[in-house]
Amino acid sequence: MELLNPFNLSKKYEQVFISQNIGFENEEFFLLKDSNQIIFLVIAPPNFGHSDIPNYYVYQLEIPLKAISWLIDSIEIKFWKSAKEGGLPSGQYKLKEVVVNETLALYREMNVGAKNQKGFRLANFSRPSRKFDDNFQEFFITDALLIDGGLLDKLKLIQI
């Protein structure tokens, strides 16, 4: 797979959700899916260097479609609930598990996009970066996009 252009997608991809990337200036967020995976994608105007698609940088992460329930449960239960309520132990800010045969990790972050702006870093250690020379993919999502922007609700509606 390569970096996708959200303005010129193959018919195999469905645009599930589009929003301003809340918490990041001048970025647009796209949630895409095909029959096997969900794709988190952001476009941003280039600050320097060459753009990935005309006029934009592209940042992209893919996870198996069947991993959506893991992601939702991890956010809502493991990170947003106390240990007494079934959440992670106090002071634990990372969850790394094999989900649908891929090693995924979710990290609680306190400075996503701006100082003191809470959110998550989602990583897939089973797929290489489509942009950098890294053997993993990572993607940042703010709580504001999840809650106020409606991304979490949209993820819950995805049919697997």
pLDDT digits (tens, 9 = 90+) for 30-77: 999 999 999 999 999 998 889 999 999 999 999 999 999 999 999 999
Structural domain contains residue 67:
yes
Is the residue at 102 inside a domain? yes
pLDDT score for 68: 97
pLDDT band at 157 (very low <50, low <70, confident <90, very high): very high
Average pLDDT, the chain: 95
Nearest to 79 by CA among 113, 139, 122, 115: 122
Kindly report, residue by residue over 9-32, the tens digit of the pLDDT: 999 999 999 999 999 999 999 999
Residue 159 lies in a domain: no
- Asked whether residue 138 is domain-assigned, the answer is yes
Residue 49 within a domain? yes
Beta bridge partners of 19: 29
- Is 42 part of a structural domain of the chain? yes
Q: CATH no. for residue 32?
A: 2.30.31
Q: Is residue 3 part of a domain?
A: no
The domain in which residue 44 lies consists of 14-154
> For the chain, what is the domain count?
1
